[in-house]
Amino acid sequence: MSDYPEHLKRLPWFTAQASNGGGACVEVAFLGEGSVAVRDSKDRYVRPFPVGGQGWSCFIESAGAGTFGPVG
């Protein structure tokens, strides 16, 4: 956890409104200029993964269109 910057710890993290609250979600925090940080709600001590604005927009568009299916 020593490489987890303080400014990322203090961000306002949230889950999707469609989340069922079962703890198996990702959390997102806005970083500015369309970029976000993403982390696993089950392990909040692992350093978040930053995603650029264009990548995040593509993900949101694909998720909204139902492009992603079950894994496995």
Q: What is the mean pLDDT of the segment spanning 7-18?
A: 81
Q: 23 or 55: whose pLDDT is higher?
A: 55
Tokens of 36: 């976000």
Q: What is the mean pLDDT of the segment spanning 35-40?
A: 92
Q: In sequence order, what are the beta bridge partners of 35?
A: 32
Q: 42 or 51: whose pLDDT is higher?
A: 51
**C-alpha dist (Å) from residue 28 to 4, 18, 25, 43:** 15, 14, 10, 13
pLDDT tier at 36 (50, 70, 90 boundaries)?
Answer: very high
Task: Give residue 10's pLDDT.
Answer: 83
- The model carries a pTM of 0.74
